[in-house]
DNA sequence: CCTCTCTCCGTACAGCGTATCGGCGGAGAC
DNA sequence: GTCTCCGCCGATACGCTGTACGGAGAGAGG
């Protein structure tokens, strides 16, 4: 599992093949099947190992917003480091021991709040959705290094077509940079407001 | 391309193989390579075709919030129908003509707002992140049909471990259902508030 | 009619996950 | 000591994948 994670971190998920992992372990491919039943099991293990890193040791901040923010930041940082987990959990749900612990901690962060469990769960998942989308995009920007929109054929399309806003954005050199914190703040502001109102 | 989309809709992205598409077209596999250079090109075409569906015909609502909501709803509906696009654009960016048109329309929706282009872009991407995460999760829930957390071994883990909140959630039967609209409202509320403040 | 281009395609190769089966070494029973 | 059983390793093989390579045939322009 550690070997597989190392490969995935370095070269992406599709580089993780049974033969590749076996080679890294100095063993023949079929030997792996004494410990796992299918390759998916290996993926499950890898995902749960990342979930372990998501768990925050020690006390959570007592204020729900700080606690959720802290968890979201941790998720952002860890998942960006192992960005292949996104593809794993997007394929189908992988609920391991550490996944449960992480879920528990999420609900725990909201326990000071006077809302029912269903609402707490929806808050958690909403933040999770934002985080997920953000990490996916950040990975894209990172992996392609340069600004994709600067590619010649795209510039040409923008210049020749009817794209006033895009053309202006291109001329002004609007950075694609975004901020995890800003979007998170927006979302939490909205949640906070709906709490105050209800 | 249409044949490939049909296969992907019905059986998922991994069912889209060169041989499969060729068979659907009544043609030999290698013939496809006359029209595309690599399989990725086919994926590019498929993604842009979905982007075409994202474009809203006619006038957008003049109020930014209504416009963005309308676009987000369209994205939600269309992408859930072709949920494999998420995996495509998550792998690497695919900017085709329709993708640009859609981007233009997004900025257009915010053009009545008194913010600079960079801020507008960040607003658009933040909403996009939420939508992306939401669709991924909704697809998970749909594809597995039943409630995954209800599986015996998970129940057992929850009951035997130290998971007070999860246990309570299980006992109370907290539904996993979430609402696209609610989270979107939260996010837009937060954005609106930050606009008013600045 | 010759040539050029465009499309189709047969074959082949390297890689994948994994089903099947066989061998080997250590632990426990007598 | 010997016998048995079980856990681990592994060789081979099957069917799948994307695609490199080269050839065949048809239609167009000279």
Burial A141-172 (b: 16+ CB within 10 A, else e): eeeeeeeebeeeebeebbeeeebebbeebbee
Instruction: Say whether residue B125 is in contact with chain A using an 8 A CB cutoff.
Output: yes
Q: Identify the pLDDT of residue B30.
A: 95
Measure A33 CA to nearest chain B CA, in Å.
22
User: Beta-carbon neighbour count of residue B179 at 10 Å?
Assistant: 12
Nearest CB to A144: which of B92, B107, B154?
B92
| CATH number among 3.40.718.10, 3.40.50.150, 3.30.540.10, 1.10.357.10, domain B36-197 | 1.10.357.10
Give A-chain residues touching B182 at CB under 8 angstroms.
Answer: 122, 126
| DSSP designation for B55 | P
Scan residues 73-112 of A and list those with Cβ closer than 8 Å to B: 86-87, 89-90, 92-93, 95, 97, 100-101, 103-104, 107-108, 111
Helix (H) or strand (E) segment spanning residue A22: helix A18-24
The CA distances from residue A166 to A109, A110, B122, B159, in Å, are 41, 41, 14, 54
Give B-chain residues touching A107 at CB under 8 angstroms.
Answer: 165-166, 169
**Which residues belong to CATH 1.10.357.10 in chain A?**
36-197
The answer to whether the CB of B98 falls within 8 A of the CB of B106 is: no
Give B-chain residues touching A198 at CB under 8 angstroms.
Answer: none
Average pLDDT, chain B: 93
- Residue B107: which of A31, A111, A149 has the closest Cα? A149
Residue nearest to nucleotide C20 (CA to C1'): A30
Phi, psi of B179 (to 5 degrees): -130, 125
Instruction: Say whether residue B171 is in contact with chain A using an 8 A CB cutoff.
Output: no
Q: Identify the pLDDT of residue A193.
A: 95
Instruction: Say whether residue B64 is in contact with chain A using an 8 A CB cutoff.
Output: no
**Which residues belong to CATH 1.10.10.60 in chain B?**
1-35
Euclidean distance between CA atoms B32 and B38, whole angstroms: 9
Q: Where are the alpha helices (DSSP H) in A92-179?
A: 97-109, 117-144, 152-160, 164-172
Residue B149's pLDDT band (boundaries 50, 70, 90)? low
Q: Identify the pLDDT of residue A150.
A: 67
Measure B186 CA to nearest chain A CA, in Å.
4
| B192: three-class secondary structure by DSSP | helix
Euclidean distance between CA atoms A77 and A72, whole angstroms: 9
Residue ranges of chain A with pLDDT lower than 70? Answer: 145-150, 198
Measure A142 CA to nearest chain B CA, in Å.
10
Nearest CB to B129: which of A92, A130, A189?
A130
DSSP A44-65: HHHHHHHHHHHSPPSPPPSSHH
Mean pLDDT of the B103-117 span: 95
The CA distances from residue B174 to A53, A115, B147, in Å, are 27, 13, 11
The answer to whether the CB of A41 falls within 8 A of the CB of A21 is: no
Sign of CA dihedral B132, B134, B138, B141: positive
Euclidean distance between CA atoms B91 and B83, whole angstroms: 14
**Cα of A94 vs its chain's centroid, Å:** 14
Mean pLDDT of the B183-192 span: 98
Residue B144's pLDDT band (boundaries 50, 70, 90)? confident
The CA distances from residue A187 to A135, B10, B124, B185, in Å, are 16, 34, 13, 9
Q: How are the residues of chain B apportioned to helix, strand and coil, as percentages rounded to the nearest 5?
A: 75, 0, 25
Q: What percent of chain B has pLDDT over 70?
A: 96
Instruction: Say whether residue B149 is in contact with chain A using an 8 A CB cutoff.
Output: yes
Task: Determine the distance between B38 (CA) and C4 (C1') in angstroms.
Answer: 26
Q: Residues 7-36 of A near strand C (Cβ < 7 Å)? A: 16-20, 29-30, 33
B90 contacts A149? CB cut-off 8 A:
no
A126 contacts B186? CB cut-off 8 A:
yes
Residue nearest to nucleotide D9 (CA to C1'): A31
Interface test with B, best of A84, A117, A158 (most B CBs within 10 A): A117
| Token pair of A4 as six digits | 């597989």
The answer to whether the CB of A18 falls within 8 A of the CB of A32 is: yes
- Residue with tokens 């019905």, as numbered in its chain: B10
Mean pLDDT of the B137-143 span: 92
| DSSP designation for B64 | H
Task: Determine the distance between B28 (CA) and C10 (C1') in angstroms.
Answer: 10
Instruction: Say whether residue A35 is in contact with chain B using an 8 A CB cutoff.
Output: no
How many residue pairs from chains A and B have C-beta atoms closer than 8 A? 188
The CA distances from residue B128 to A72, A81, B106, in Å, are 18, 22, 10
Euclidean distance between CA atoms B90 and A86, whole angstroms: 9
From A101-110, A153-162, B50-59, B187-196, the region with the lowest mean pLDDT: A153-162
The fold of the A1-35 domain, in CATH, is: Arc Repressor Mutant, subunit A (1.10.10)
Task: Determine the distance between B102 (CA) and D20 (C1') in angstroms.
Answer: 37
Largest CA distance in chain B: 62
């Amino acid at each position: 599992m550690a070997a597989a994670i190392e490969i995935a971190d370095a070269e992406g998920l599709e580089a993780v093949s049974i033969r590749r992992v076996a080679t890294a372990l100095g063993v023949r491919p079929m030997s792996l099947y004494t410990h796992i039943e299918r390759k998916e099991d290996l993926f499950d293990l890898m995902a749960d190992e990342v979930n372990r890193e998501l768990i925050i040791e020690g006390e959570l901040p007592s204020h729900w917003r700080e606690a959720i923010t802290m968890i979201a930041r941790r998720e952002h940082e860890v998942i960006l480091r192992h960005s292949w987990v996104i593809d794993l959990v997007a394929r189908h749900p992988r609920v391991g021991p550490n996944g449960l612990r992480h879920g528990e901690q999420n609900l725990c962060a909201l326990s000071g709040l006077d809302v029912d469990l269903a609402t707490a769960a929806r808050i958690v998942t909403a933040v999770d959705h934002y985080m997920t989308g953000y990490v996916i995009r950040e990975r894209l920007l990172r992996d392609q290094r340069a600004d994709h929109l600067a590619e010649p054929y795209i510039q040409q399309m923008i210049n020749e077509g009817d794209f006033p806003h895009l053309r202006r954005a291109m001329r002004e050199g609007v950075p694609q940079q975004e901020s995890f914190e800003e979007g998170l703040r927006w979302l939490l502001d909205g949640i906070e407001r709906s709490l105050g109102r209800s």
